Copies of this chain bind each other. A is one copy, B any other.
Amino acid sequence: MKRIRLIISYDGTNYVGWQVQKNGLAIEQVINEHLSKLLNEDITIIGASRTDSGVHALGNVAVFDTETKIPPEKICFALNQGLPDDIRIIRSEEVSLDFHPRYGAHSKTYEYAILNSRVSLPLTRLYADYVYYYLDTDKMRRAAKYLLGEHDFTAFSSAGGQQKSMVRNIYSIDITEETDILPKAQAPLHKDDFSPKMVRIRITGNGFLYNMVRIIAGTLEKVGMGIYPPEHVKEILESKDRRKSAPKAPARGLTLREIDYGNLE
């Protein structure tokens, strides 16, 4: 028997999320079915991150045990033949039998994308939130600094998580903006106009509570719009009160980029 690790990329738009639900199709379910058929065994994968409905992944991680003689690195290519094109296994490899995707030290990197424009754009609508009011990314960066390091993130999580401790360590939050997304002559006209931009919040930590990245993104959007001063994020954090933070930003803006099991700080 050997244990195989899969790196999985998906567009979450048409799924109820990673985990099997009663109201629709789940990503793990699609992979289990195709893998069981391919290997002629009853396979149940164990995922690292049970992403919510509508959330995307560039590289989620899952493992399963198998007796197959297909070389581990080739399983991804064989599996991709049958999978729908919104799910792809980008890498498969053998790992030791004691590797578990959710235990042991690892870091996760998420990216939250926000189109900041007077008009939403069809070509980014599936993978980015959309904010009509001007976002001041300098203010967002100042606010984000209060979240760095080890904190109790109760104020930035939804009820329903299964974790015991609410303490997590955020290693980095990088906020970038890309401004040349529309040719200049085509920018929307508006009385107090600004250049449309794509804002990306990239956040790495040793783990995240339920809805934590989306609540952080929703809170930083309010800071960017000038509704909260940057210092207010410190107060929210210290309050440990879920009612103080902003509503979670929509699922479509969130992509799980990477789970790293080596090179930890």
Interface residues of A (CB under 8 A from B): 7, 9-11, 56, 58-59, 73, 76-77, 80, 85-93, 109, 119-123, 125-127, 182-183, 185-190, 255, 257-258, 260, 262
Contact = CB atoms under 8 A, between A and B. Distances in A.
A121 B182 contact: no
Copies of this chain, complex-wide, total: 2
Nearest to A255: B123
Contacts of A91: 119, 186-189
A149 B244 CA distance: 61
Contacts of A76: 119, 188-189
A63 to B, nearest CB: 15
A198 to B, nearest CB: 13
12 contacts: A11-B123, A56-B123, A58-B121, A59-B182, A87-B122, A88-B121, A90-B121, A91-B119, A91-B186, A92-B189, A93-B189, A109-B183
A255 B92 CA distance: 33
Nearest to A181: B58
A206 B260 CA distance: 49
Contacts of A257: 183
